[in-house]
Amino acid sequence: MPSVTGSSSHPTGMGLGSILFGPWPMVLVGSIVLLFQALLLAHGGITTWGANCFSMAIVGAFVAFGVFKIVRRLGASIPVAGFCAAAISDLVTYCTTATQLAIAYPDKVSGFWGSWVKFMGVFAVTQIPLAIAEGLLTSLVLVYLLKYQRSEMGSLGVLKTGEQWA
């Protein structure tokens, strides 16, 4: 997906998955996706697989799950909480990547923080509009799931029995 910085990046899908299935299954699913992309697309890479699994599959999944729970407890509807969870999880994933790169490649003059600012400039800024887009799409899918798949949402534990979602 293109972004306002004139470069491109991806949504991660961890938000929707974690809301529906919980964070643990998504750690596994995300890791498999990253392995496939590394092997079939030379995207991400085998030597960096662990680092990518951490930023996307682990941090992404748990941030999404946590944000969803917190925002729900604050009384927001499922689609609104889903938007927050997906957008924040997507953004935090890329901030984690920037942090990892800054640890691996500290600037010779300004050290870790100097490097961190540069990597954040690349990833976080590019990611902001994409995170919002992922949040909106997650929200949309949740609206439809709640409309047409109420009973399944109930059995997944997203919706409690008799609970109003809107």
Partner 1 sequence: MKTTGRWTPLILLGAVIVLMVLPFVVARGGDFAGADGKAGEVIAKVNPDYVPWFTPLWEPNSETATMIFSVQAAIGAGLLAFGFGYWVGRRKGSEQSARDQRGTDAQAETLLTAGPGDS
List the structure tokens of 135.
Answer: 């949040």
Query: Whole-angstrom Cα distance, residue 109 to residue 35?
Result: 35
Token look-up 């491109």 returns 8
State the helix-helix crossing angle for 78-104 and 61-73, rounded to 10 degrees: 140
Q: Which stretch binds partner 1 (CB under 8 A): 18-26, 57-65, 84-92, 146-154?
A: 146-154
Q: Which contacts of 95-100 are long-range, i.e. CB under 8 A and separated by 24 or more positions?
A: 95/120, 95/123, 95/124, 96/54, 96/55, 96/59, 97/51, 97/52, 97/55, 97/123, 98/122, 98/123, 98/124, 100/51, 100/54, 100/55
- Asked whether position 21 contacts partner 1 by CB under 8 A, the answer is no
Among residue numbers 112 through 131, which ones bind partner 1 (CB under 8 A)?
114-115, 118-119, 122-123, 126-127, 129-130
Figure out which of the listed residues 22, 80, 154, 156 binds partner 1, where binding follows CB under 8 A: 80
- Asked whether position 79 contacts partner 1 by CB under 8 A, the answer is yes
- Give the x/- contact pattern for partner 1 in 25-64, rule: CB under 8 A: -------------xxxxxx-xxx-----------------
Residue ranges that bind partner 1, judged by CB under 8 A:
1-9, 38-43, 45-47, 77, 79-80, 94, 97, 101, 105-108, 114-115, 118-119, 122-123, 126-127, 129-130, 132-133, 136-137, 139-141, 143-144, 147-149, 166
